Amino acid sequence: MQDQNKFNYIIQQADNCLILGQRLAEWCGHGPVLEQDIAMTNISLDLIGQARLLYQYAAEIQEEGKTEDDLAYLRDAWDFKNVLLVEQPNGDFGKTILRQFLYDTYSCYFYEALMNSSDERLASIAAKSHKETLYHMKWSGDWVIRLGDGTEESHERVQQAVNELWSYKDEIITANAVDAEALEKGYGISLEALKLKRDEKIKAVLEEATLTTPDNDYAHKGGKEGVHSENLGYILADLQFLQRAYPGNQW
């Protein structure tokens, strides 16, 4: 393998994209209105597209003759390095929106910084992905405001989502050994700098949405190290079934 740490660094982000893309895909045909049903489906496709680009590069670095499909369909849950936030159940529309917003505020600024990566391939992937995530963050942020500053019921529902998901928001911007080495070698980004921009954006949107920030500093973690909730197993059971039942099958 050319670079084990770079492989792990890419896999972390690829897994985030794949798992959240799969979660959003569950909304297809079930959105509250047709326009937002289509919007969530399109964002899901964007995320899976980002995952593909990253898995392709990771497979090349791995040098084991594997493809993007092998990395998506033939790894077990403990091999996935996505954060716990993205595997949380959809819940109602408000919870899905809040989860998406907490991810988008990371993803948009992540790709913005990654465009300066010393790795030209990562910088190129970031440039394409950043254009998509700018829209994602605007869409989810606008909906947080619309729901939070809307009816009494919509406010209560999205406030409950804030309360439930708040402790999952910081794992994604907490550096582990993989992130630290990537930053040191120049192909990764500073999560500490990203956190400042992300927190400012979250604060501004929640204030406009008249939502209250929980007084709780507890942070769930483990996903980056392959320790997941039972939710990931159910996601992978759906995602990977066909490939595992009929390995190597081609249409």
DSSP string, 73-86: HS--GGG----GGG
* Complete domains list, the chain, with CATH: 4-245 (1.20.1260.10)
Q: Which residue has the tokens 């992540």?
A: 110
Task: Yes or no: say if 181 and 129 are a contact pair by the CB < 8 Å rule.
Answer: no
Q: What are residue 65's phi and psi, to 5 degrees? A: 75, 15
Q: Report the length, in residues, of the chain.
A: 251
Q: Which tokens in the block code for residue 197?
A: 């921009």
pLDDT-wise least confident of 108-122, 174-188, 230-244: 230-244
Classify residue 232 by burial, with Cβ atoms within 10 Å: 0-12, 13-18, 19+: buried
% the chain with pLDDT above 90: 88
Classify residue 48 by burial, with Cβ atoms within 10 Å: 0-12, 13-18, 19+: middle
Q: Is 155 left (phi over 0), alpha (psi -120 to 50) or beta?
A: alpha
pLDDT confidence tier of residue 32, bands split at 50, 70 and 90: confident
pLDDT at residue 251 is higher than 80:
no
Tell me, what's the pLDDT at 1?
A: 62
CA distance 110 to 69: 24
Q: Is 248 left (phi over 0), alpha (psi -120 to 50) or beta?
A: left
Radius of gyration of the chain (CA): 18
For the CA atoms of 117, 40, 20, 188, the dihedral, rounded to the nearest 10 degrees, stands at 10
Q: Enter the pTM of the model.
A: 0.95
CA angle 229, 222, 110 (to 5 degrees): 110
Classify residue 15 by burial, with Cβ atoms within 10 Å: 0-12, 13-18, 19+: buried
- Per-residue model confidence as pLDDT tens digits over 151-210: 999 999 999 999 999 999 999 999 999 999 999 999 999 999 999 999 999 999 999 999
pLDDT at residue 217 is higher than 90:
no
